[in-house]
Structure formats: C-alpha cells, structure tokens
C-alpha cells in the first residue's frame, strides 16, 4: 500500500515525445523489426504511436490491462480487461507501455501475449524504474528513487484523484488544497488546472463547493 505522502513527477508533452523518440532509436539501433506493435492501454497508447511514427511502422494495435487506478491507487490484481483481438501466431511483436512501476502489468501482458503463439515477444517502455520486478527489453530512461510519474495524457485524471486525497470533510480554501498537493505529493500545477479538477469532483458528487470553500462529501477530517 502506498504511503499517504510521496513525491510525484509531472512529465511534459515535450519530454514524453522526446523519450518516445529516444526509445524508438534504441529499438532501431538493436535491429529489432516487429511485425506488430501492441500498446498497453491506457498508458501505452501515446508512446506506442510515437514509437511507430519514428520507426515508420503502421501495424499498431492495443490491449487493455488494469493495475493502477487514478492517483496511484493500486488495484488488488492485474486484470487483462480487453484481450488481444488479432491473430499473432508466428509473428514478432513489440509491447509498449509508458512506465514499469512494479513491473506486474508488463509481466501479465507478456504472459497473455506469449500464450497466443507469437514467434517472439519483446517489450519497451519510456521509463523503467529500479523498483520494477520485470525488466523490459528496451527503455529510454532508467529511473532511480521512486516517485509516481504523471504523464500529460493522464494529468487531469490524476489531479482529480490527488485532489480528492487531500480533501477532507472540513471545508478548505482553494489555496489550502493547492498547498497540500504541493506538501504531500510535490504536485504544482496551474490554478486553472486545479480548478478544473475540483469542478469535476463536485460534478461527480465526491465533493461540494460552499462559496469559496471545498469539502469532501465523505472523507477523513
């Protein structure tokens, strides 16, 4: 179980694209030419597309695997929600995701894909953490010192989740919530982005706004 306070690292669109292009370069330099690229949904969608673009590769599909919820909420087990729907027997495939955290998502995906009879399965991620129990074949960056990485394609969703984590049943000013996000999770975002997250929490019925104050509908004091 994750602590109630830990650092987060926000990755920009520019940095994400740079990492994906660098990852493609590593794959190209190794001489691997997959017949099919498989993105792990949802984190691997954008990286896989950029990798394919850099490799001039147009055979891209996806598989939906669930392990983490929003705001670093870990699910009880890894689940293949939407299995691979194409015939890969005798084909060389490359599985792409954004990050290896525990490595469980990648390991379960490899087992599932391997069971379908491909000739070869290799894996690639943008960032490989030293906390991962599974080492991918390719990665653009090796990360030491654990933090929760927030990619730009998940920033709003994670911000909604982290805002909910710092919001108690006692009403708080916007600036208090902003300060708690910075203190507990090292999350610093533009005011407009945080306001959009709080608006969604209110719209979902998980929080309420009373004048300029916000409070969780149900939550710790």
Domain membership flag for residue 85: yes
Tens of pLDDT, residues 167-184:
988 999 999 999 999 999
pLDDT for residue 156: 96
Pairing of strands 120-129, 92-100: parallel
The rounded mean pLDDT for the chain is: 91
Looking at the fold, whether 142 and 159 belong to one and the same domain comes out as no
Is the pLDDT at 203 greater than 70, yes or no?
Answer: yes
Its pTM stands at 0.88
Domain membership flag for residue 127: yes
Looking at the fold, whether 120 and 205 belong to one and the same domain comes out as no
Alpha-carbon span 40 to 29, nearest angstrom: 23
Looking at the fold, whether 135 and 157 belong to one and the same domain comes out as no
Looking at the fold, whether 189 and 118 belong to one and the same domain comes out as no
Alpha-carbon span 61 to 39, nearest angstrom: 6
Domain membership flag for residue 4: no
Looking at the fold, whether 111 and 158 belong to one and the same domain comes out as no
pLDDT for residue 71: 44
Which two three-digit tokens encode residue 8? 């987060």
Find the mean pLDDT for residues 181-195: 96
- Percent of the chain at pLDDT above 90? 79
Domain membership flag for residue 221: no
Q: Which of 124, 149, 174 is the last residue of a domain?
A: 149
Tens of pLDDT, residues 110-168:
999 999 999 999 999 999 999 999 999 999 999 998 899 999 999 999 999 999 999 98
CATH code (residue 60): 3.40.50.2020
Find the mean pLDDT for residues 35-39: 97
Asked whether 214 and 177 are in contact (CB, 8 A), the reply is yes
Looking at the fold, whether 166 and 126 belong to one and the same domain comes out as no
Looking at the fold, whether 140 and 45 belong to one and the same domain comes out as yes
Q: Determine the structural domain holding residue 123 and report its residue range.
A: 10-149
Looking at the fold, whether 121 and 31 belong to one and the same domain comes out as yes
Looking at the fold, whether 141 and 170 belong to one and the same domain comes out as no
Q: Which of 134, 149, 164 is the last residue of a domain?
A: 149
Q: Which residue has the higher pLDDT, 12 or 71?
A: 12
Alpha-carbon span 106 to 135, nearest angstrom: 9
CATH code (residue 186): 1.10.10.10
How many domains is the chain built from?
2
């Amino acid at each position: 179980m994750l602590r109630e306070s830990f650092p987060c690292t926000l990755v920009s669109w520019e940095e994400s694209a740079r990492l994906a292009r660098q990852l493609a370069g590593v794959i190209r330099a190794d001489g691997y030419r997959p017949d099919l690229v498989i993105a792990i949904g949802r984190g691997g969608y954008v990286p896989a597309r950029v990798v394919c673009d850099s490799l001039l590769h147009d055979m891209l599909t996806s598989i939906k695997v669930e392990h983490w919820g929003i705001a670093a909420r870990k699910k009880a087990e890894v689940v293949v929600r939407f299995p691979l729907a194409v015939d890969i027997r005798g084909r060389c495939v490359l599985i792409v995701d954004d990050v290896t955290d525990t490595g469980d998502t990648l390991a379960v995906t490899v087992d599932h894909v391997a069971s379908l009879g491909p000739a070869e399965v290799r894996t690639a991620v943008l960032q490989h953490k030293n906390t991962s129990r599974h080492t991918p074949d390719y990665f653009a960056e090796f990360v030491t010192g654990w933090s929760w990485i927030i990619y730009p394609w998940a920033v709003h969703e994670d911000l909604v989740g982290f805002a909910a984590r710092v919001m108690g049943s006692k009403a708080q000013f916007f600036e208090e919530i902003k300060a708690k996000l910075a203190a507990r999770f090292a999350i610093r975002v533009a005011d407009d982005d945080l306001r959009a997250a709080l608006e969604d929490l209110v719209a979902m019925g998980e929080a309420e706004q009373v004048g300029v104050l916000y409070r969780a509908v149900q939550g710790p004091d």
